[in-house]
Amino acid sequence: MLTLKGKVALVTGGSRGIGAAIVKKLADEGASVAFTFISSSEKAEAIVQELTGKGTKALAIKADSGSKNDIENAVAEVVSKFGTLDILVNSAGIIVMGSIENADQMADQFDRQIDINVRAVATAIRTASRYMGEGGRIITIGSVAGTRVGTATMTDYGASKAAAAAYTRGYAWDLGSKGITVNIVQPGPIATDMNPEETELADFLRQKNALKRFGTVHEVAALVNFLAGPDAGFITGATFDIDGGSLA
């Protein structure tokens, strides 16, 4: 049975990595899927062609998650094209690392990190929830760094992901009366093009989790798919760590 048949989903940052895996998984479960991208036009179009070739309705929207207007317009376009919105996945995010000594010189980069990792999450939830009814699902991709930073130079990134988790808990209360669930998935080390398994940092991260390996984008997508589906109706305001035991 297709668990998401008839549903419409929007995934921000859905053209590569974890976001692309989520787009494809939700589509495989029957959802019509729109996703935003900012620079990977060829990858975005390839995903659309792949999904439409399987008979799935798919839409790629060029939008900068650092822009409030772009986010609001993306949500409006989804509703205009598909008639409704049932599932929002906030997958867009960036990581900016820097020492406390260099914070002043990196102020613009840190500000953009807040715009994308925090403000965009709040804007997308506020906007999307206006169109959602009973059974709506909102899932944000956070990071285990939002719970435990664990190393130097990650302070601002960890703070941005902790804020996303706090928004999740708060909006779960704000939207509970509408029957909309709001949850956050916090990955640990996940193998992607931007986070390859064959680096010195990867070896360090691998030794920091109980399973001694990197997770896959498909494992993250499977968890998101569950939270988007009908069996997760009584789960809200919750944090799901998918980290190989990094926080254990």
φ and ψ of 3, to 5 deg? -70, -20
- The residue type found at 113 is Q
Interatomic CA distance for residues 195 and 198, integer angstroms? 9
Active-site positions read: 157
List the beta bridge partners of residue 187: 242
Question: Taking a C-beta distance cutoff of 8 angstroms, is the pair 72, 59 a contact?
Answer: no
E strands of 67-188, at which residues?
87-90, 137-141, 181-187
DSSP character at residue 135: T
* CA–CA dist 37, 153 (Å, integer): 27
d(CA 74, CA 87): 14
**Which ranges of 141-210 would DSSP assign to H, the alpha helix?**
155-176, 200-207
**Cα-Cα-Cα-Cα dihedral of 144, 135, 15, 47, to 10°?**
140
Instruction: Return the DSSP state at 100.
Output: G
Size of the chain, expressed as the number of residues it contains: 248
